[in-house]
Structure 1
């Protein structure tokens, strides 16, 4: 197969393959162990900082970009704490949801944190118990699994149909 033929074959295969939506969020904490949540202007529930990956963007790069856009700070994400496949629902196709460890913010940085994007109405550092009350139940369960993975040193994987 000549080079142009090979590229045409690969392009045709790429065009026919399924594409997955990818959400990339972070678990970011203050020095008291509280979890940072954001209150999006376009959702009914609070959420973790993060968002959707753009075309050809890695999940970790998407998480770092979204945090910078939403909060105006640069973070370097660590390991994946939780990965969840979410089946098709409503008008949406399936997606992969990543939750990365983004570490602990210094007290002065945490105290000065403000929304940096119109998509975020407010933010708060909350206990895991308070997070469960503010988050949609499926996201609260994802955060609980991410916190357990953080404490245990592993990565949690789940499928939600």
Structure 2
């Protein structure tokens, strides 16, 4: 098995296991499939444009609109006028989202203390650095796809 195959398998398995783990803690919260939006909004001090959310999470605008609609219906976010660009709306966290954020923080603390117990901080940092680089490279490849014949030529060199 070459690196690409093994990497693909390990990422897929880690993703599956991670979400199984996370959903056990989040099953009582009705945002378990959209928790990333709430987490990202906390990084932007509770407010962001839909475009910012789409760009950071690589989600299509139409899909993001449906996710925001769902979160708004459940009372976790609101849409506000964006005074810098009246065509767009700002998505803002509500007080109800604060409870979810506290649960998420507790879950991630549990994750860090139980799942990473045999991993040094340097290894965790390197893992994040490598994953970010791979994600960046994949994003570039997805935005500028390589022709199948070019891909075969690259592999043969």
TM norm structure 1: 0.25
- Greater share of helix residues, 1 or 2? 2
Report which of the two structures shows the higher radius of gyration computed on alpha carbons: 2
- Greater share of strand residues, 1 or 2? 1
TM norm structure 2: 0.25
